[in-house]
Each structure stands twice: as C-alpha cells, then as structure tokens.
Structure 1
Amino acid sequence: MEERFFRHYLATLSYRATIAIKDVPLHYPDFQVGKGVKTPVELLSHISDVLTLGYSWFANVEAGKGVQEWEREVDRFYNSVEKLDQAFAENVSMKKSPELLLQGPLADAMTHVGQLLMLRRLADSPVPPKSYIKANIQTGIIRPM
C-alpha cells in the first residue's frame, strides 16, 4: 500500500511539474520577479536537489552540480523522479522513515512546483485551468508522452 501511494504521489508531482515546465516561453527560465526570489531554472534545480535528498533515503548519491541550462534541468528533474519511483517499485528499504520523506523532500518539491506555476502567470505565460481530480495520472508514468 505504502509503495503504491508514494509511486502515485511521484506520478502526480511529475504531471503537475510537466504542466509548469512544458512549452515555456524563452524568457521564462531566467524570469526575475524580485530580489531574493529564485528564477524558474533555479527553482527547478532546487526541486531536483530535494528529490535527490529524498533518493538518499534509498542509496548513496552525489550532490547537485549547481544550476544548469533549462533543458538539462528539465531532464535532471525527470531523472530524479524516475530514480525515486524505481526505488519504490523495487521495494528498496529506506534508511529513514517514509513520513520524513513525505513531510520533507516530497512536500517541498510539490510546493516549488506551485511556485513554478505562479511564476508562469507572472511571466505572462499562464497555463490553462486543469482539473487534477480528472487528470489521467498513472503510477510509473513520469515523463510526458
């Protein structure tokens, strides 16, 4: 049950992030909203960093290499989600509690996806409204088709 829940959460995270990062205008990755606020590319990099931290519950990992260009960060995001999903799919034992994984890295990642969506609107590139309850989110499907 736990594995299924976490895998569906990761598919949901990926689905929502895809809405935020797909078909962005050229100015979006480096869009500056104000002093001290991360740009979208910095946020996406941070999301991958916290997901990598989450993956450290399962395996030894290397730290991030700093913010890269947008397409590399997009790929890094999907790779990070896929690694976590695979760890759950293979029932790899966790070094820390699943509750800490949810309340820390996974909740943090979902929060930052919401920030990416808000920045899209501020960058004059809002996404159309979506009903996430009706969304076709499938466990194990991480990358957009």
Structure 2
Amino acid sequence: MKNEYLRHTVATISYRFQKSVKDCEDSFGHFNLGKGSRSTNEIINHMCEVLTATRIFIEKERFEKVMLERLSLTEEIERFNLELKSMDNTLSGPELGIDYAKKLLQGPFSDILTHIGQIAMMQRINNKPIDAEDFSAADIRTGLK
C-alpha cells in the first residue's frame, strides 16, 4: 500500500481525536485553561489549518497559509474529520519518499497529536476523562471512511 505508514498515522490521529472529543457538549468548545491558552474550538481549528496546509503542500508542492473561520465545536469536529479523510485520500496517491514522510511525522502530524493530548487533558479537567485502553492494541485501520 502506498504511504502505508503515513496513512496509518492519519488513522491513528483520527482514532485518538475521536476519543478526545467523545460525548463533549458544544459548551466545551469555549473551555480553556486561562493565561492566554486556546479554547477547544481554537485548538481544533488550528489542527484543521495545519492539516489542510499540509495536504495542499503535498498536492501542490508549495506552502499556502490557511486561515479557517471559527465554527461551533460540533462543526469544527466535523470539518477536522473531513480533512482527515481528505489527507488519507491524498496519501493514497503517489508514494512519498522516506525523508518527506519523516518531515510530515516530526512536523505537522506530531503537532496535531500534541494538540489532541491537550484536548484530552482539558476533558479530564472538565471531569470527562478518556477511558483507559491499550492504544497499541486498538483496531486502527488505514483508509478513513
């Protein structure tokens, strides 16, 4: 499978993201930790901007700054899920070199995973911790639907 490792990374991001926003109410979108930190909506919006810019870079081989309008929490979640599917579709195309793949992992994909961790922490603070599981044993499948 072309770009199998990267596509598995995108599927892992999706899995972790779904866990971090499971059963959250729209009001959680405005939750932040103070001291200038981003709200949940702002974090997801940023993650979508990063993912969209990365996809455009892969497709067009040039950087385009992406600024997305802010939406409700439900809409931000839906838009990010759609962008994950778009990224998976892009990665199902031509094989990317290993050096290119490493840069995607260490840059935008790791950034997004870090932000998912922030959302998970904010859920815990909001009395909705993520259920414990062995993530290495999770049934994560490439090819988002």
Same fold (TM over 0.5): yes
Figure out how many residues of one structure are paired with residues of the other and give that number.
141
The CA deviation at 1:64 is 2.9
Q: Secondary structure at the match of 2:3?
A: helix
Aligned residue identity for 1:110:
L
Corresponding position of 1:91: 94
Partner of residue 136 from structure 2, selected from 130, 133, 145: 133
Corresponding position of 1:24: 24
The CA deviation at 1:76 is 1.1
Corresponding position of 2:74: 71
Normalised TM-score (structure 1): 0.86
For the Cα contact (< 8 Å) 1:31–1:39, is it kept in 2?
A: yes
Aligned residue identity for 1:9:
T
The CA deviation at 1:15 is 0.2
Give me the whole-angstrom Cα distance separating, in 1, the residues matched to 2:36 and 2:2. 37
RMSD of aligned Cα (Å): 2.1
The CA deviation at 1:106 is 0.7
Corresponding position of 1:11: 11
**Unaligned regions of 5+ residues in structure 2, if any?**
none
Partner of residue 85 from structure 2, selected from 64, 82, 92: 82
CA deviations over 1:88-134 (Å, ceiling 9, x no partner): 1122768x922222211111001100111000001111121121011
Corresponding position of 1:124: 127
Q: Secondary structure at the match of 1:58?
A: helix
Q: Secondary structure at the match of 2:57?
A: coil
Name the structure with the higher helix share.
Answer: 2
Corresponding position of 1:35: 35
Q: Secondary structure at the match of 1:36?
A: coil
